Amino acid sequence: MSKFPELHPVNVGMLLTRNSQYRPDHLGIIVENTRLTFQEYNNGVNRVANMLCGLGVDKGDKIAIVLPNCFELLELYWAIAKIGAVSVPLSTLLMSRGLKSLINDSDAKIVITNSHFMNIIEEIKPELTNVTGYILVNKPSNSEYHHYQSLKEVASDKEPEVTEIDENDPYNIIYS
C-alpha cells in the first residue's frame, strides 16, 4: 500500500502568490480590456490587502461587499484571503432592510460598495452596529467614505504581514 505525500496546508490567498513566484510573466487574468500577468495581478492584490490592513482589518474581521461583478471584486476576494479576513459578498438585489440585517448579522467591520448603492448604505448606516469604515470603488471619497483606488495606489505591493492562517479559519460567509 503506497503512502500519499505529506500535504502542507495552503490558504486560498497563497495560491495567487505561488503563481506569481513560479509563473510571473504568464497571463494571470483578463477582465474586459485589462490583461495582467500573475505578477502584476498579485502586486495589485497585495496593495488591496495592505490597504485593508491599514484600515485596521485583522484576521477574522468580516468585510461586507456590495458590488456587481467587477475587477475590484476579484481583487478583494484574493486580498481578503491573504490577510485571513472573512469575505461577506452580498447580493446587489437586496434593498435597505435586507442589507442592514445581513451586514449586522455577519458582524461586518468594513462595507465596500460603489456609488450606485451608496444611497442604500446611507439610509441604513445609523443602524449598522459594528461597521467602522466604508469604501467606495468608483468615486472619490467624501468625509465618510474612503476611495478604493486612492488607498490602493499608496499601499505597498509587498506580501502583507499577517498572523498565520489556519486551514480551518473561515474565509467566506455566503447568505442565500
Q: What is the pLDDT of residues 87-137, one digit of tens each?
A: 999 999 999 999 999 999 999 999 999 999 999 999 999 999 999 999 999
- What is the CATH architecture assignment of 12-154? 3-Layer(aba) Sandwich (3.40)
pTM above 0.75, yes or no: yes
CA distance 35 to 32: 8
Q: Which of residues 176 and 107 earns the better pLDDT score?
A: 107
What per-residue confidence (pLDDT) applies to 134?
Answer: 96
Phi-psi domain of 30 (left: phi exceeds 0; alpha: psi -120 through 50; beta: other): beta
Across-strand partners of 146?
135
